Every structure is written in C-alpha cells, then in structure tokens.
Chains A and B, each alone.
Chain A
Amino acid sequence: MEVKTASKEKKIKQAPTTVSGAEAVIKCLLEEGIDTIYGYPGGAIMPVYDELYKYQDKIHHVLTRHEQGATHAAQGYARVTGKVGVCIATSGPGATNLVTGIADAQIDSTPMVCITGQVGSHLLGSDAFQETDIVGISTPVTKWNYQVTKAEEIPEVLAKAFYIARSGRPGPVLIDITKDAQFATLDFTYKKCTGIRSYKPFPTVNLSEIERAADLINSAKKPMIVFGQGVILGGAETLLQQVVEKAGVPAAWTILGLSAMATDHPLNVGMVGMHGNYGPNVLTNDCDVLIAIGMRFDDRVTGNLDHYAKQAKVIHFEIDPAEINKNVKAEVAVLGDVKETLQLLLGFLKPNNHDAWHQKFKDLYKIEYDKIINNELNGKEGKLGMTEVIDEINTSSNGDAIIVSDVGQHQMVACRYAKFNKPRSNVTSGGLGTMGFALPAAIGAKMGMPQRQVVAIIGDGGYQMTIQELGTIFQTKVPVKIVVLNNGFLGMVRQWQQMFFDNRYASTELINPDFVAIAKGYFIKAKKVTERSELKNAIKEMMDSPEAYFLEVKVEQEENVFPMIPTGASVSEIRLE
C-alpha cells in the first residue's frame, strides 16, 4: 500500500513540464538517483553540458582528461557502490574513446550507462564532422545500445537503459543522442522501467535443481567451492559464508570473486587460476563435487579444459543461462540470482565438516609457503619485491582498504596477497585485462566510497596509459593513494618472454620518466622508495595522508610471478618455479 501511495504522490508531482531533450537527460539521471557522472565535453554533446552547468548543485560532473578515463572511473564507482556508473562523451572520437571501457564493463559485468552526443539527425550517414557509427561500433560490447533521434524518446529510453544496465547480469548500455534531439523540446514525465517483455533478467528458480545440488553437496567427500563476482553482484556475501560454514566446504575464488569472503576466513583457501594458489588449483582435479557460484569458467581459471575437474560432478549456480555448459558441463545447473538460490540451498544443507579434505589444502599451502610465499614476504636481501609492498599496505590498512589494481604482474601479486575484510573492496580489470584501468578506476572508487581508504596498485607500464588522469585527481582533490611498482619492464610479457620465448625481451623494457616529478607537476604529494629500509615509513606516510599521494617503489626488475599454469597446461600441472 505504501508503494502505491508513494507512486501516486509522484504522479501528482510529475505533471508534464516542457523541457529540452538535453534537460530531459539530466532529469532522467536525477530520477535514477545519479549524483556523480564522468565525462568530457565536445560539440555534439554541448546542449547536455549546458544543462549540467545549470544542474551543477545536483549532479557532480567529473571532468576526466580522456574519455577512457571517464569509463574506468564510472566502472570503479559502480564496482564499489553497486550503483550504475554513468559517463558521457561527445560524438566521433569522444565516443570511440569509450569503447575500451565499455568492453571492459561488458566482460566484467559492470553496470554502466554511457551517453554520447551524435551529429544532427539530418547529417546521419553524411560523414559529417565527428560523425561515427558508435551504435554499430559498440554493438558487440554492450548489453544494449540505442540511438535516439527524437527528444520525446529520451525518458523512456534512458529508463530502459538504467534498468537493463543494473538488472540480471549487469552490463554496459550506450545511448547515442543526436544533437537535434537534445535541442528539441518534449513534455517530460518519468516512469522507471520495471520490465521489458523480451528480456528476462532473472531466470526462474527451479527448486528441484537446488535439492539435487544439496544432495550432491551433502553426500560429497571432497567438495570444493569456487566463487566469482556473481556473489558480489547479487549481494550474497553473507549467504556464501553461511553455505561455506554450514557445509564445511573449502572455498576458493576467482580474481573477480576476491573480497566476497574475508581473505582470512579459515575456509578461504585462496585463488584459482593461472597465478592462483597451489592448493585450490591442484585440488580442482581431486575434488568429487565442484560447486561453482557466480563464476563463468574463464580460460585463465580453468587452464586446459580437457583436463579440468574431469573427476568431479560440477554444480553451477549462475544467473546467465548462456554460461551454463559454455565451457564446463554442469551436472546440476542452478539458474537464478545467487542471493535467492543460496538462501534456498542453505535450507537443504546438512551441517558437515571435511577436516581431512581441508587438511589437504593446508598441506599444499605449506608447500607453496615454503617455496614461494615465505621468500616473497621475507626477502631480506637484494631489491624490494612487489609482495613486500602489498604486505606493508596490508599491515597499514588491516584489510580495510579498497585495492584497485591495474593489469600485469603487480595485479597478480596484489590479488594474491592483499587482505580484505569487506566485500566490494577489490577493483581490477579481470576479463579484458585493460592496462590503464586502475588510476581512473581508483578515482571513481574513492568518489563512490569517500569514507574508505582507496589504494591503486599500478605497474610502470599501465600507469603511463592513463597517467593524464593525475590532472583529474589534482582538479577534484580526490584523495586516492597511488602506488607504482616500477620494475622498468612490461613485467608479465617479459616473464613470458623469459619462460617461453628464450629470453628475447622484445619491446618490453621501459625507459621511464621521473614519475615523482610528474606527480609533483600536478601538485600531488609524491615520494620514491628504492630501499627496503624506507618502505614502512613511506607506506605509512602515504596511508596517513589526508590528500592524494603518489608513491613510486623501485622493485626487482626481473621478478617472476609464481605459481603459474602455463597456457595449454592443466590446473594440476601448476608450476611452483
């Protein structure tokens, strides 16, 4: 009843008012509860920017230094808040510069709405100045896209855009609006989208599949859970922990599942995949029931599919029917939002423990610890290692920080070693592997969660792909902490060259500029550390800084990340050296 009254009131408030298409765009954003957007102006989107000027007390527009930065900032914002990230750009190059971020959001299921300006509709197809077919270009990397040519379409199309972006398996939506549609007027009323007849975001939950899953889990001798970002997207972190604890099942995570469960939980057995932990990778090929929750069996997780968990019965909890049996055949497929299905599962699970089986994970961890982890954490000689830096950040943050990592060796080290107590704390580009992601994503993350410490961990390569966003940090005064682990190489590619290309370091060495001077050029506090003895204080100074802070750490140049599953190998053939 309350809802009905509220909507009635809203209806009274929403007597149509005549506004321009551009103003309608802003009003739609306000209706959707958007208070922060990222973007870059230009000719074809100027009417919308003119309205943003008028509405600047209601919507905070963050001017990034490149449209790609706007997309990653919107992604960072979305990943930590669970809300839809919004970015805005002009036609032509403005629009094409969004494509990398859109592709990243698509493969990592991040809710995002991108609004682009387009040339006037009378010019469409004439190769006008800054005309590009962004709807055509973005089609394969968007969940939905649409070109608006009439002002009166704007409210309904944007309502659909937000609904599609955030519902079901989230993803990016692009709405292209011609300039004449921004100038033309319409009678504005807004109705939130609650359904589209051809779109079923939540598949019907089948209770008998949940019972079958529970039976398998209850009778398993060596069950293992692998959870992914679906748990976070569904807001099912507590439920996951309850399932894990009740059934006593060791649980491992994919890179995007990280932080869905506290890293120091006794049943958290670490990361699966190419640079994951030894135990969960090896034991994937030993478990009798593999319970996949909100993950999609990416090739970086599974290694060679012909030798992946062949002995196990696979249970797949998944919201997207297209993921079932895509890479790994599921014995039981439980379709639905994990928030709903795990709740139901919990009722059927019998309290259990698998101590002897869990011990196997611990034994393998001991091997990994002795061979790798101990050396990396406690390297007392030679140049600093990347792990020592992450460990020092852990000590300082106590696992409460949001860690935003870029792509490459430092990313694997950050994900392997960072401590997390809270969900939605790990922000990284997983599926697309977008170098340059972290700096702008950290801006969005800090704006989304201003009360939390946000630390970006970036390599010297990726840092220089979006380094211009230091300008955004300076202008907005957003207090992000930036750590560049500088090894003077594109480290992950160099590692592969060393291992598989006979040490031929083709175009992977970087002759770098003075990063501290660059940060200082943007009036950002900056420091460089080269010695182990300086590290602790430098990290402390950075973490304690109320302002943005840049820390460069010179690390060992030719350090390799292990364990590693070489391409084409099976998960159980993971190498420790």
Chain B
Amino acid sequence: MEKKNYTISIYTENNIGLLSRIAAIFLKRHFNIESITASKSEVNEVMRFIIVVEITEDQVKKIIGQIEKQIEVIRAYYHTDEELIFQETALYKVNSAEFVEDLTIQDFIKETNARIVTVTPKFFVIEKTGKRYEIDDLYDKLKPYGLMQFVRSGKIAVSKNEMPISSILEDFNTININS
C-alpha cells in the first residue's frame, strides 16, 4: 500500500497527560510525526490535536482505532489533503543590512504575499502563511541572504466534511440523563 500524508484530527478532553499518551501510540509503531499542533476547538472545553503522518491508509485506520481507544479522546478522524482546507505559517528572521541593500528581497515578499511583521535596525521578521511548497520556496529565496532564524508551524486544517463533535457529546448527555 502506498504511503501518503494523512492529517489526523483528534478531539479530546483537556487533560495534562494526553499528549504523551497519544504520542506513545505513534512511538510504539515507529511512525514519525511530521507535525503536531494542539489548540482549543469549536466546542467549549474540547481540545483539538492535528497530527500529520506519512503512512499507509491501512496504518492510519489502525492508529485511529488505537487513538479512539484512549479514555479522554472523544473522536479521531483522518483526512487526505484533498479533503481539507489547510495552511502552515512560517517566520523568517532576516538581517536588516541585507534587506535594505538588496531590493530583490522586497520583491520576493511582494510576489509571495508574505508580510513584514517587525522591523528593527538589526533584523526584519517576515511571516508567510500558505502551503508547504510556498513556505519552502520563500525559504530557498531568503537562504542566500543569511537567514538568522526560521520556524514553521505544524499544519492547521479544517475538513470539508463535518466532524460532529457537539452531537456526539449531546448524545452522551442524553443517554446519561435518561439512564
């Protein structure tokens, strides 16, 4: 089976140990996590993890099963890039001297729709949000000018299809109140 980038979305309770519990599931199977982000979700008091891995579909199905088995995981989903709207964000710290001297840098910024976040006498910080190849492209262009620092976020994504967490939680409440 072919390996692909799968984006796993995990809705969970907010629990201190859960990140290592989820990470351990990947570790046990020797799967390398490409990126991971955690944030609040659209539902109050529910966290959302987004984990990107390059594995086969069979493997991703099995790992979803293992993740959903964890007590504080409400639901987990997996998607391919085609099923998602997704972005990454990167910050580039560039030496001010280079920036002022060489106007081509300014052209890159305009061309790539990047944004200047901070300007100081010593450095500029440029922010670029977009697809991975766009971020990599700007990286390649800025690299020759001496990147002082570079960092890229994990993938953030929303799915085209619904992930009905609220109704799952409502179902639980209904059952529990009736019983």
Are B28 and A140 in touch, CB under 8 angstroms? yes
Bound complex: CA A145 to CA B12 (Å): 16
Are A198 and B24 in touch, CB under 8 angstroms? no
Are B172 and A322 in touch, CB under 8 angstroms? no
Min distance, Cβ B63 to any Cβ of chain A, angstroms: 9
- CB-CB under 8 A from A323, the residues of chain B are 65
Most B Cβ at <10 Å: residue of A135, A140, A164, A326: A140
Are A143 and B65 in touch, CB under 8 angstroms? no
- CB-CB under 8 A from A505, the residues of chain B are none
Across the interface, B69 reaches (CB within 8 A) one of A135, A320, A325, namely A320
Bound complex: CA A326 to CA B66 (Å): 10
Among residues 76 to 103 in chain B, which have CB atoms less than 8 Å away from a CB atom of chain A?
none
Are B68 and A195 in touch, CB under 8 angstroms? no
Are A321 and B65 in touch, CB under 8 angstroms? yes
Task: Known A139-B20, A140-B28; judge A198-B65 contact (CB<8 A).
Answer: no
Bound complex: CA A194 to CA B61 (Å): 29
- CB-CB under 8 A from A198, the residues of chain B are 12-13, 71-74
Q: Which residue of A lies closest to B173 (CB)?
A: A197
Count A/B pairs, Cβ under 8 Å. Answer: 54
Q: How large is the interface on A (under 10, 10 to 19, 20 to 34, 35 or more residues)?
A: 20 to 34
Are B73 and A140 in touch, CB under 8 angstroms? no
Are A145 and B61 in touch, CB under 8 angstroms? no
B17 on the interface (CB 8 Å rule)? yes
Bitwise interface map of A from 174 to 208 toward B, beta carbon under 8 Å scored 1, else 0: 00000000000000000000111111000000000
Instruction: Give the dominant DSSP class at B's interface.
Output: helix
Are A321 and B24 in touch, CB under 8 angstroms? no
Q: Tally chain B residues at the interface, Cβ within 8 Å.
A: 25
Q: Which residue of B lies closest to A195 (CB)?
A: B176
Are B71 and A199 in touch, CB under 8 angstroms? yes
Bound complex: CA A243 to CA B73 (Å): 35
Min distance, Cβ A491 to any Cβ of chain B, angstroms: 30
Across the interface, A322 reaches (CB within 8 A) one of B17, B20, B69, namely B69
Q: Which residue of A lies closest to B17 (CB)?
A: A135
Bitwise interface map of A from 146 to 187 toward B, beta carbon under 8 Å scored 1, else 0: 110000000000000000100000000000000000000000
Are B21 and A139 in touch, CB under 8 angstroms? yes
Task: Known A139-B21, A325-B61; judge A197-B71 contact (CB<8 A).
Answer: no
- CB-CB under 8 A from B179, the residues of chain A are 194-195
Among residues 103 to 131 in chain B, which have CB atoms less than 8 Å away from a CB atom of chain A?
none
Bound complex: CA A346 to CA B74 (Å): 33
Are A164 and B71 in touch, CB under 8 angstroms? yes
A144 on the interface (CB 8 Å rule)? yes
Min distance, Cβ B104 to any Cβ of chain A, angstroms: 49
Are A322 and B173 in touch, CB under 8 angstroms? no
Min distance, Cβ B103 to any Cβ of chain A, angstroms: 51
Bound complex: CA A163 to CA B13 (Å): 18
Bound complex: CA A143 to CA B17 (Å): 13
Are A194 and B20 in touch, CB under 8 angstroms? no
Are B169 and A197 in touch, CB under 8 angstroms? yes
Bound complex: CA A109 to CA B161 (Å): 36
B30 on the interface (CB 8 Å rule)? no
- CB-CB under 8 A from A135, the residues of chain B are 17
Bound complex: CA A383 to CA B169 (Å): 65
Most A Cβ at <10 Å: residue of B17, B20, B61, B175: B17
Among residues 104 to 147 in chain A, which have CB atoms less than 8 Å away from a CB atom of chain B?
135-136, 139-140, 143-147
Min distance, Cβ A460 to any Cβ of chain B, angstroms: 33
Are B17 and A197 in touch, CB under 8 angstroms? no
Bound complex: CA A194 to CA B179 (Å): 9
B62 on the interface (CB 8 Å rule)? yes
Task: Known A135-B17, A139-B20; judge A144-B71 contact (CB<8 A).
Answer: yes
Q: Which residue of B lies closest to A146 (CB)?
A: B17
- CB-CB under 8 A from B27, the residues of chain A are 140
Q: Which residue of B lies closest to A168 (CB)?
A: B69
Bound complex: CA A35 to CA B17 (Å): 31
Are B72 and A322 in touch, CB under 8 angstroms? no
Most B Cβ at <10 Å: residue of A139, A147, A198, A323: A198
Bound complex: CA A136 to CA B24 (Å): 10
Across the interface, B65 reaches (CB within 8 A) one of A145, A146, A194, A322, namely A322
For this complex, 20 residue pairs linking A to B, each with C-beta atoms less than 8 Å apart, are A139-B20, A139-B21, A139-B24, A140-B21, A140-B24, A140-B28, A146-B17, A164-B71, A194-B179, A195-B172, A197-B13, A197-B176, A198-B12, A199-B71, A321-B65, A321-B69, A324-B65, A325-B61, A326-B62, A326-B65
Residues of A within 8 A of B (CB): 135-136, 139-140, 143-147, 164, 194-199, 320-326
Further contacts, 15 of them, CB under 8 A, given A143-B71, A146-B17, A147-B16? A139-B21, A144-B71, A164-B71, A194-B176, A194-B179, A195-B179, A197-B74, A197-B172, A197-B173, A198-B12, A198-B13, A198-B73, A320-B69, A321-B69, A325-B62
